[in-house]
Amino acid sequence: MVMVMSRMHSGIPGFDELVQNGVPRGISCIVAGSSGSGKTTFCTQLLHEGVKKYKEKGLFVTLETTPHKLFEFMKVFKWDLKKMEEKKEVIIITMDPFQMHKLGGSETLASLLYNKVEEYGVRRLVIDSLDVFDLLYKDPFEKRVAVHNLVTKLQETNSNLFMISEVDTSSPEVNLSKLPTSVVDGIVLLYNLRSGNIRQRAIEVLKMRGTAHDKGMHPFKMMPNGIKIYSKEKMFR
């Protein structure tokens, strides 16, 4: 008997084609890129489309901005996150690094999120961003342990976890040394590459456990209703 893997369909045009029609259920993934590359938009779109297309509840944890700013930023795509929050379709939690440190760091955050996921039946979870962990844990090993503990706890829920992080992707050669790559199942890189006097956005699935995935870099654009990935086109030939 052949077992069919359960997958999460992103709802982002072109993305699922890069990961065999959806990422495996229950995995953790880092979404990394330079400032302006589309990280927060990509992850917010995962939550928005999860609600609209698949009736899957989401949880957005903001460690760096406020819900009001998030609501305002996403209005450009006509995404009414405030209404989704009011209907408990997307749960939004705000916690700054000082609160997180005072309450006990990543272990407290992991327990809080675990309880929220279980309480509301959340299937998609976004943490914005992992860069806050650099403030809390100066030692790289301690940071990896903290992220590992967070990931391990949340994987018990079988929800899909996406964690945003900033790295320099202004060129195809990316230094990933600051990312806890070994403790997550997937890494998605978003690029903002200069070509002449313009910049071209691109996406690359660098790592995705549990499934075959495309190895190329593909262009994407910000459309009126969100990100669209051109999965049939290559950035470099």
Instruction: Give the Cα separation of 117 and 168 in Å (integer).
Output: 32
Task: Count CB atoms within 10 A of the CB of residue 90.
Answer: 25
Q: Is residue 26 part of a domain?
A: yes
Give me the mean pLDDT over the 209-227 stretch. Answer: 95
Whether residue 195 is predicted with pLDDT greater than 80 in this model: the reply is no
Number of domains in the chain: 1
Residue 2 counted as domain residue: no
Name the DSSP class of 109: H
HSE value, Cβ hemisphere, 13 Å, CA-based, for 205: 21
Residue 172 lies inside a defined structural domain of this protein: yes
Total-model pTM: 0.92
Angle at CA of residue 13, ends 21 and 70, nearest 5°: 115
State pLDDT tens for residues 53-88.
999 999 999 987 788 888 998 999 999 999 999 999
CATH number reported for the structural domain that contains residue 160 in this entry: 3.40.50.300
Q: Domain of residue 207: give its range.
A: 7-229
pLDDT mean across residues, the chain: 90
* pLDDT at residue 107 in the model: 79
Of 188, 190, 195, the closest CA to residue 220 belongs to 190
